[in-house]
Amino acid sequence: MDKALARAWLWAFAMAVEEGEARLTALDSAIGDGDHGVNMRRGMLHVRRLLLKDEPPGTVGELLGMTGLLLRDHVGGAAGVLYGSTFQAMGAALPVHRAGVAQLTAALEAGLATVVRLGAAVPGDKTIFDAFAPAVAAFRDASTAGGDLRAAVTAAAEAAEAGARSTVPMQARKGRASYLGYRSIGHLDPGAASTEMLFRSLADEVTQGPLRPADGRDLPDVVNESSSAGK
């Protein structure tokens, strides 16, 4: 992964979040605060602004780290801390201009370790972990088996999607959804859904060609910071 691919990945993730805002909000409305979609969109809008700067951060690690800071500052709530800290951990593991598959594996594992440390989640809790952990494992397994970046990101995206779907029959044991008890069963976890978007965006950029940042004319002039940041 070089800086161009990292930028394209973040831009694609931002666009996926924007297009999926209503779905993420609906999922979160069923078992949470109902703000995951709008909060993630707001945070990723700030990332899009970063990507449109004439001189964005110079290395892959710095770009991911700055993305993490923006998400921590602007997403709010548990998702902001988890996503922000995860990107910061990945960035700290990639202080380079170009990362190979082995280095990306280490960075994703650092991100997962951060999710575990902050969320104290285990498999079956119905959280981001249930999509993120299988994605990282699939990426690592593909890499260990000698697969290239295309094979690794494809395997990770498929595992993230399966992991997200696996949360539907689970009863939530973490976060606000856990307050619902058995009523949380039958709903896909919104954090797992956005995690699926994260890995699918990377796979699409590697396999289908980079989606380059546009000129910014579609970005709102004012970012609404009042909706639910800090909840």
Structural tokens at position 111? 């991100």
Note whether 66 and 57 are within 8 A (CB).
Answer: yes
Tens-digit pLDDT string for the chain (231 aa): 888 899 999 999 999 999 999 999 999 999 888 899 999 999 999 999 999 886 767 899 999 999 999 999 999 888 999 999 999 999 999 988 888 899 999 999 999 999 999 988 889 999 999 999 999 999 999 999 998 999 999 999 999 999 999 999 999 887 778 778 888 899 999 999 999 999 999 999 998 865 555 544 455 543 444 444 443
Are the CB atoms for 131 and 164 separated by under 8 Å?
Answer: yes
Architecture of domain 3-207 in this structure: Alpha Horseshoe (1.25)
Distance of CA 165 to the CA centre of its chain: 16
| Angle between helices 3-19 and 21-31 in degrees, nearest 10 | 60
76 in Cβ contact with 228 (< 8 Å): yes
Cα–Cα distance between 9 and 64 in angstroms, integer?
Answer: 10
So where are the chain's domains? 3-207
SS3 98: strand
* Per-residue pLDDT tens digits for 70-96: 999 999 888 999 999 999 999 999 988
Q: Can you tell me the distance from the alpha carbon of 12 to that of 198, in angstroms, rounded to the nearest whole number?
A: 9
Lookup: tokens for 105:
């594996």
Tokens 């949380």 identify what position? 184
Residue type, 69: L
Q: What is the pLDDT of residues 29-43, one digit of tens each?
A: 998 888 999 999 999
pTM, entire model: 0.88
Beta partners for 98?
2
* Residue 226 parent element (H or E): none
